[in-house]
Every structure is written in C-alpha cells, then in structure tokens.
Structure 1
Amino acid sequence: MKNYQLRRLSGQPILKTSDVKPSVDGFEVLGAFNPAACLVGDEVILLLRVAEAPRSEKGFIAVPLIEEQDGIPVLTVKQFAEPAYPYDPRVVSLEGKVYLTSLSHLRIARSRDGIDFTIDEKPFLFPARMDESFGVEDARITFLEGKYWITYTAVSEHGPGVGLAVTTDFRTVERVGMILPPPNKDVALFPQRINGKYMLLHRPMVSEIGKPSIWLAESTDGVHWGNHRFLFGGRGLPDNPFAWEGGKIGAGPEPILTDEGWLLCYHGADPTHSYALALALLDKDDPARVIDRSDAPLLTPELPWEREGFFPNVVFSNGWIQWPDGRIWVYYGAADSGVGLAELIRG
C-alpha cells in the first residue's frame, strides 16, 4: 500500500462539536465525531456520532441512560458523587457498576459539496432498546441491493454489540436489531454479495487470550452471520515499527472494490491509545485472503484539534465516499471532538 497517501483537504475541522445543538433539554453536546458517510444522489450524507450528557452540579456526575419503566425504554438520568480519584472521562465505575458519562445517538448532516454541512436538529437514530441503553455509536453505511444498510455499535450494561438498521431515504429508518452480540464492534458490510453471500468485517473484543484483530463473516440473509474467520491483527509491539497498531485494530468504512481487490481503510491504536489510519487490500473473489497492508500509517494525529479534545490523539474513520470522477474522500473523527476531511490519493 506504499502507493497511497491521505492528504488533508483542510487544516481545520469541517464540523465541530459547537456546530451541533443538543437534542434533549438540559443536555449539552460533548462531542460530534466519527461519521459514517455515503452519497445519495448529489447529496453527501454523514451520520455523526453525537455524545450528549446532562449538565451536572459541581462535585457530581449525571449519567444518562435508557431504563425500562413499565416495559417501555425511557431516557433517565442518574446522579452520583464525583469520584475523588482520576477517572476516564468517557467511562466510570460507580457503586459497583460501570457507566458511560454520555449517551450517543446518530445525527444526519447534509451537504452538496461534501464540505459545508447542514446538521439536522433531531436525532436520526436515538437509543430506543435495552440493548442500546448506553447509546448508539460509530455507524457505517453500505448501499446494498437498493437500501442503505447502517451498522452501528449498540452499547448496554452487557457491553458493545452490533446493531443493524436500514433506510432508503434517510428520513425514515427501520431497526432490524442486534446482529452480533457483545463484545463486538467495528462492523463494515461489503457493498455486494461475494460468491452469493453477504459478507462483513467485525472486531471481536478479546481479554486474557488473543490480541485485537479483524474478522470476516458471511450470511445468506444479511441478519444471521456465521463462518467467522480471522482476517488480520495488529502487528505491533512496544519495541517494533508496528507499535502504532499494537494496542487496538478495527475496520473502518465499507470496503471499496478496485481493479486490484477490495480496498479497506482500518484504524490502529498504540499502547498509549493514540489512533492512526491505514489501508489493506483483500482479494476481490476471496476477501479472506489479504494481498497487502500498510507498513506505516497514512494519517496520524498531528494538528492541535486532532491531538486535543474529549479523547486526545485520535484520527478515526468509519466513513468515506467515492465521487463519480473516482476521487475518494475520507471523513474522520478527530479527538472525539470534531470531523476532519482528507483525500485518498494513489501514485
């Protein structure tokens, strides 16, 4: 993949957290980032991850979540005394349970030129099921068989799983349900059947045994998935050149079919949780065969707004578009606080 490079198209974020209005009274937007992307006619659609939290008093943490009341999932807020010890700004353990400090939903942003966006004021996909009780995050969009298939991370007290929704117009949406149980995330669907099967990439989350890795799965109906196979994992160790992908690894947007094979953008993180972007090339007829991979990242956090934010030192892409003239634009989340834009260039 040495003949590819990612070139930033702007030295500033094209979307910032301050551009997004909260969807719930009394809440504030903590981050707008990690957008899925697609072309719908002559319009660019982004599905932003918008993280919101209730405003809380000094010395307290207000935790938003979905709880069941009389069998109906309802948005609620729990308030806790703030821990006296340092804690992750995104995840906190309180009274024996782990909570997220914000609740994420998916919000549409629309543009004619792919740069200047108008952001919807209401969520497109808001947590509405108990398996989404901690939020819906980091979508990918694949146009497949006349519909836009949206895979997303559905988070609950049981961990992150993978939800599926479909739309034809980005005005109405149908939830299909959870297609991969926890712990799993980073699912990207291929935009066509391969050898008669639907195929996707996913990232099982390992603990004591194994290392972070990207897997391949197939399906006959797009809902029930099997024949799971290891595809590739991070090569990094603290003392070698691949440390940039040694901590975490996961698939980005839907693969793009090229003359050489399926082009895949993926992210890697080092042991300090600094994220970078890279590429892999998969065989067009057998995507379980990896043809090539980046030896070095194509994009790393370098600019101040990529290095400083709600979660620092992150460039993370789960959305790209291919214009009719062949240009590929990559939308990426920056420090969990905004959206950057880069062009993938070959040569």
Structure 2
Amino acid sequence: MKRCKVIVTGLCFLLLSIACREVPQGPAAIGKSENLIEKPWMLGPFERPKSSKPIIQSDSIAVFDDPMSGREVAWRSKATFNPAALVRDGEIHVFYRAEQDLHTDSIGGHTSRIGLAVSEDGVHYQLEKKPVFYPDDDDQKQYEWIGGTEDPRIVEDEQGRYILTYTQWNGDVPRLALATSEDLRNWTKHGPIFEEYEGGKYHHRETKSGAIVTELKNGKLVAAKINGTYYMYFGVPHIWLATSTDLIDWTPVEDYQGKLAPVLNPRPGYFDSWLVEAGPPPVLTDDGIVVLYNAGNSANIGVKDLGNRVYTSGQALFSAEEPWKLLDRSDTPYLKPELPFEKSGQYKDGTTFVEGLVYFDNKWYLYYGTADSMVGVAVADAR
C-alpha cells in the first residue's frame, strides 16, 4: 500500500497535502467534505455506495430448528447487524449477528446467532437460510443460553484455518470467546478466551470485541505474526491487548501491578469521549498497525453536535514493533451515522459500528452495523 511520504517544501508541500486529502472519484459519497483522509497513514476515505441502502436486513422468513427451545424459530426476525467479513474462493463472506425477536424492548434481550451472506461482486449478497454459528446443546451453553452468540470478528491464518472471536451472552456476563473452522460451516468452540488465565482472573469480568492483527499477503488479509507473536486488541470502554503463539490460547497484556494495561482510552473533547471499542481485525502496514475502532460520544465532555451515546468510527496507529505503543490517532470520525437507516432502529441514537474489513478487487470493503438493526458497507480505493 503506497503512502504519501515524498519530502517537499514550500508550495509543493501545500499542493501535496491537498492532493493527499482529496476524495478519489468513484461511487457517490455521503458527506464527502467530512470523509477525507485526515492523516496519511489512515485507510480510506471510505464512501457509501450510490444506493445508500443496507445490504442485510431482518426478516421472518428464515427459520431453523433451535436446540435451546426444541422448536422452529425465525432466527433473524428482530435485527441483523455488527458483521465480520473475509474473502474465500474469490467471494466476500459476511458473518452478521442476527437477533430473534423475543418481544421485548430491551437491547440485548433477544437471542443472537450468526448468519452468513455471500457476494461475488461486493454489490449483491445472497443470504443463507440457516445460521452458521449459534448457541447449541454443547459444553458452552452455560455461557450462550439464551442470549446467544454475538458480534463476530474473523481472520484466516496462513494454513487456511479460520479463527472466529465473538461474545458469549448468557444474560449475566458477556465473555470474549473463540472458535475455529476449516470450512466456515463446521465450528469447534474453544470457550471463553481468558477462562484459564491465572485461575480465571478475568473470567467473570466483561470482555468482548476481539480483533486479531492481520496483514495483506498475496492480495489476502491473514493473521500477522509480529516477532513470532500474534496480537489481539479487545475490550470496551478501553481497548486492551492480548498475545498468542497459536491463535487459540491468549494472554492479556498487563502492567507491573498485574492489571489490564489499556492501550487506547476515551478522550474528553473528542468524538470518542465516552468509550472506545475494537473494530475489525487491524491491519499491519508500512506505517504501523492501523486499528479501526468504534467510538462513543458523551456530549457534555465530547462533541456537542454529535449528541450522547452516538457511535462513530475512528482510526489509531500503533507501533509494529511495540503493538501497545500508540503513535497517532484520528481527531475526527471517518464514518458516522448520517443516513436514516443508520440513525433509526433498536439503537435510536445512531451507530456506524465497524466490525468487518476485507481487501477485494483492489478496494477496501468496510462492513458495519447500523443502529443495532441492519448492515451497511462503505468502500475505499486501496492506495
């Protein structure tokens, strides 16, 4: 990926700066003036397609036999949102969180499962009729009944194995968990990621949003080893870090007191003043590790015009040699709720909650959940 790193002076520098911030020609953008590349290391700018419509929506047609209730249920009847994504066999695979309507107005009060949509062109998506990952009558039911399996992120390793991180929700404590597959259909659940660490030190603490660092190899994003180690950014309202040598067993990065060491924090005065949360798998670039993250705003100490609890998206740059070392971060969101379907639904304050990123046809495809209800996509030319 090429970066604007030419050394220039005077007027040439000014002209180059303007050129680096121009939005490339392509699909019509929403709010072009705000979707600029703020810093040269950032991915993007990301533009919504001309249709400006959600690519995945809920319906009551798709049903399957639910192991929990022992009956047929409409598993995506309430909402479809918060998608992961990867490319396999030349097609984009989008793994989205689907909620079954349990007739409550409580956010998080429905059963979640993970569905799959496949696209050959990044425009049209074919939804599979049954979920590909869900709470089953297995050894994880104590953590997944009846809230379900939520908010996936997915990566591929160099051997072609798929690693899924997701949230287990049993109505008590949300836990970051992991599963693996060879074919994206048959999954082995490995349980909560930190269940065994130091006698379950973090097992009863809320953990979620595990984003494993990737790199672009031969036109495909794969899990990246940095000095022999895999890294995963995770957590909310701060972002923490964990390490692994096999992508299965993870060790959280702690400070000298044995406490989780936050590597990215909320900032008073900015769009991420309330919380920060890991987004899609980060990307290792020539500049460092680019982390696309979700940001919540607190209007009284953040950006007043955004309002309270609004989720936008930011980017942060970490050192490739020291992945806990923050080098830079965006001052404004590169994606925020602007369209009606991004500001209406279960989460009426509005979200553009990013969780899936793929490199496809020389472009970046960024998949996000809207208002806890639908799935959207934004696209950027690779530079």
For Structure 1 versus Structure 2, the TM-score category normalised by the shorter chain is 0.7 to 0.9
Is 2:280 the counterpart of 1:253? Answer: yes
1:51 corresponds in structure 2 to 99
Is 2:261 the counterpart of 1:220? Answer: no
Partner Cα distance (2:378, 2:148) in 1: 28
Q: Which one of the candidate residues 29, 48, 52 is aligned to 1:8?
A: 48
TM-score, length-scaled by structure 1: 0.79
Instruction: Indicate conservation of the 8 Å contact 1:30/1:310, yes or no.
Output: no
Aligned runs of 1:1-347 on 2, under 5 Å?
1-3=38-40, 4-9=44-49, 10-18=51-59, 21-23=62-64, 25-27=72-74, 29-54=77-102, 89-91=105-107, 100-128=108-136, 129-133=141-145, 134-146=147-159, 147-180=161-194, 181=203, 182-190=205-213, 191-203=223-235, 205=236, 212-222=237-247, 223-228=249-254, 229-236=261-268, 240=269, 242=270, 244-271=271-298, 272-312=308-348, 313-323=350-360, 325=362, 327-344=363-380
**Partner-residue secondary structure (3-state), 2:46:** strand
Partner Cα distance (1:19, 1:42) in 2: 30
Partner Cα distance (1:39, 1:253) in 2: 14
Bigger mean CA deviation after superposition, 217-226 or 266-275: 217-226
Q: In structure 2, do the counterparts of structure 1 residues 277 and 285 end up closer, same or farther at CA, with 3 Å as the change threshold?
A: same
Using the TM superposition, give the Cα deviation of residue 323 of structure 1 relative to its aligned residue in structure 2, in angstroms.
Answer: 2.0
Partner Cα distance (2:325, 2:132) in 1: 36
Instruction: Indicate conservation of the 8 Å contact 2:353/2:370, yes or no.
Output: yes
Q: Deviations over 1:156-175 (max 9, x none)?
A: 23311111011121121111
Instruction: Indicate conservation of the 8 Å contact 2:92/2:119, yes or no.
Output: yes
Partner Cα distance (2:368, 2:189) in 1: 25
Instruction: Indicate conservation of the 8 Å contact 1:20/1:32, yes or no.
Output: no
- Give the fraction of aligned pairs with identical amino acids, expressed as a percent: 30
Partner Cα distance (1:42, 1:19) in 2: 30
Using the TM superposition, give the Cα deviation of residue 220 of structure 1 relative to its aligned residue in structure 2, in angstroms.
Answer: 3.1
Using the TM superposition, give the Cα deviation of residue 5 of structure 1 relative to its aligned residue in structure 2, in angstroms.
Answer: 2.4
Partner Cα distance (1:139, 1:233) in 2: 22
**Partner-residue secondary structure (3-state), 1:329:** strand
Q: In structure 2, do the counterparts of structure 1 residues 214 and 345 end up closer, same or farther at CA, with 3 Å as the change threshold?
A: farther
Partner Cα distance (2:284, 2:109) in 1: 39
Using the TM superposition, give the Cα deviation of residue 226 of structure 1 relative to its aligned residue in structure 2, in angstroms.
Answer: 3.2
Any runs of at least 4 consecutive aligned residues in structure 1 with deviations exceeding 2 A, and if so which? 1-6, 18-28, 219-222, 226-229, 344-347
**Partner-residue secondary structure (3-state), 2:97:** strand
Q: In structure 2, do the counterparts of structure 1 residues 102 and 259 end up closer, same or farther at CA, with 3 Å as the change threshold?
A: same
Q: Deviations over 1:124-162 (max 9, x none)?
A: 111132111221111001112321110001112331111
Aligned length: 294
Q: In structure 2, do the counterparts of structure 1 residues 245 and 19 end up closer, same or farther at CA, with 3 Å as the change threshold?
A: farther
Partner Cα distance (1:234, 1:346) in 2: 29
The structure whose residues are more often strand, as a share, is: 1
Partner Cα distance (2:245, 2:317) in 1: 24
- Structure 1: unaligned runs, 5 residues or longer: 62-88, 92-99, 206-211
Instruction: Indicate conservation of the 8 Å contact 1:317/1:333, yes or no.
Output: yes
Using the TM superposition, give the Cα deviation of residue 22 of structure 1 relative to its aligned residue in structure 2, in angstroms.
Answer: 4.0
Structure scoring higher RCO (CA < 8 A, sep ≥ 6) equals 1
Instruction: Indicate conservation of the 8 Å contact 1:264/1:279, yes or no.
Output: yes
Instruction: Indicate conservation of the 8 Å contact 2:241/2:252, yes or no.
Output: no
TM-score, length-scaled by structure 2: 0.72
- Structure 2: unaligned runs, 5 residues or longer: 1-37, 66-71, 195-202, 214-222, 255-260, 299-307
Q: In structure 2, do the counterparts of structure 1 residues 260 and 335 end up closer, same or farther at CA, with 3 Å as the change threshold?
A: same
Instruction: Indicate conservation of the 8 Å contact 2:78/2:100, yes or no.
Output: yes
